[in-house]
Amino acid sequence: MSTGLAAGSESGPECPASGQYDYNLLVIGGGSAGFAVAKEAASLGQKVLLLDAPSPPGNTKSVSGFGGGVSVLKRLMQQAALLGQSLKDAAAYGWKIQQPVEHSWSELTDALQERMKELSFERRQELRKLGITYLHAHAEMLDPHTVQATDSKGEKTSHTAETIVIATGDKPHYPDIPGLKEHCITCDDLFSLPQPPGRTLVVGDSGEVLEAAGWLFGLGTAGEDVVVMRPSDHREDGDHKVLEKLEGHMYVQGVCYIYGYMLTKVEKIEAGSPGKLKTTSWPPGRPLLVDEQVFNTVILSVGRDGCTQGLGLERVGVTLNQSTGKVVVNAEDQTSVSHIYAIGAVQEGRQAHAGLSTETARLLAQRLYSGKHTKCESSSVPRVLFTPMEYAFCGLTEEAATQSFGESNIEVFHEHYWPLQWSLPRRNKNSCYAKVICHIPDNHRVVGVHVLGPSAGDIIQGFATALRGALTKKQLDATIGLHPVSAEVLANLTQTQRETEAMRVQGNC
């Protein structure tokens, strides 16, 4: 039984718990998944406790507040970069803007933190209205049904629950390389960095590398250079060909790329805010320019680990992936202990996606407490990279479609397009791109839609619904395009990738 509530706890009207337990459901972690499962369970009449601990350094939640906030922070950071480009475009639309235009990094990060505080307060109010008990405390499992909570003052309380959900999220991985933990930051840390990052090296193969590099270049905060170091040719978070086009666009804009290298050492050679760091890279036989090895800030994005350290999960028999710390679950989101579940980014094999985590959590609560059996279907979940030129897609990448159906059984329709709003400032005529991937034997059913361009995420949302309804290319072609907006391109795709490649071989393009 509980020994009392920790200081600063919030609770609403008491609901009956089941049998000998304090709560029907105890949720550890208050990100998108934890917040959603707690809300849904409470709406179904369950007595719920939500424990959300201060996160370890380098974890997004340390700056985003509970309830999930990293997507909000990314979108706001992207907007800041887009406004910088809009200021450059303004003259073409007749605006007279006094030069020089300056950007304040500290005012931006302060505004981001203030917005997260507001969001955190709003979500605590939601929990209170639903009668959910909330504790801002570290959680540790004492036995399969008992969790000990330790608040910021070190006061401990214990709480029992019939069902427990682990939703603690993930955190950036730091390889065991000299100087990385001491001197490098992660993409998560950018949102609360106290000073402009200066000349920056961004390391990794993930999509968030491109996001961070795009923001910094758009904001003009990185001095002369933003440099992206890609250790391998592997590209995560999207279609390889589209990501190559995105990288090419960023390169033309001024972002530098180094391919095939990995950091082996980072040393601080000059103190200050941000100071100077000397980087050493592998392989050593391929020389880098001397000035490419010295940076003010080094940002890492080389994988993510589950936030499970100190939770005591092994003590109660929950199986973890020992290399990542993530929780192994079955198709029902159930761990190796039958009444303990794991959802969201802490789950082994789950992509970090706020919308997917929220839906998975909601459906889990319904399976537990309303007799439903629906599980989350993720094949057409839309995804987006909040780079200044946005990339969004739903369904399969070209690589995945080829692997699933065979190259001869897919057709790719594609086209470069020029957004109308880019025409007056004469911006990047061949940068924006759309592609639709179809499964030929299945009546040219659309299995993937990819958009690279302004507001791509807003465009793709509706197509995710259409893919779930087995959209065909014929139906897409029959759609009346809304003129003149960027999404119009998807209703007018006639050129196939095979035709383009044939013309290229023949020297016609």
Active-site residue list: 483
- Are 222 and 81 in contact, with CB atoms under 8 Å apart? no
- Are 470 and 443 in contact, with CB atoms under 8 Å apart? no
Q: Which residues pair with 487 in a beta bridge?
A: none
Cis peptide before 283 (omega within 30 of 0): yes
User: How many other CB atoms sit within 10 Å of the CB of residue 498?
Assistant: 11
Q: Which residue has the tokens 């992207």?
A: 78
Question: Which one, of 372, 321, 354, 308, lies nearest residue 41 by Cα?
Answer: 372
Q: Which two tokens stand for residue 62?
A: 């340390």
Q: Phi, psi at residue 149, to the nearest 5°?
A: -110, 130
- Non-local CB neighbours of 198 within 8 Å, separated by 6+ positions: 221, 222, 223, 274, 295, 296, 297
Give the SS3 label for residue 259. strand
- Strand residue runs (E) in 101-174: 133-135, 138-143, 146-150, 156-166, 170-172
- Are 192 and 369 in contact, with CB atoms under 8 Å apart? no
Nearest-angstrom CA–CA distance, 503 and 509: 6
Question: Which one, of 492, 488, 450, lies nearest residue 467 by Cα?
Answer: 450
Angle, vertex CA 140, rays to CA 139 and CA 141, nearest 5: 125
Q: Which residue has the tokens 């279907």?
A: 377
391-395 and 383-385 strand pairing: antiparallel
Residue 507: left (phi > 0), alpha (psi -120 to 50), or beta?
left
- Are 132 and 9 in contact, with CB atoms under 8 Å apart? no
Question: Which one, of 190, 4, 164, lies nearest residue 109 by Cα?
Answer: 190
Q: Which two tokens stand for residue 34?
A: 């934890």
Q: In what order do the strands lie in the sheet with 200-203?
A: 185-186, 297-300, 200-203, 226-230, 256-259
Nearest-angstrom CA–CA distance, 33 and 55: 16
Burial class of residue 165 in the structure, from the number of CB atoms within 10 Å of its CB (0-12 exposed, 13-18 middle, 19+ buried): buried
Q: Which two tokens stand for residue 68?
A: 């999930």
- Are 238 and 393 in contact, with CB atoms under 8 Å apart? yes
Nearest-angstrom CA–CA distance, 376 and 358: 10
Q: Is the dihedral of CA 180, 186, 192, 194 positive or negative?
A: positive
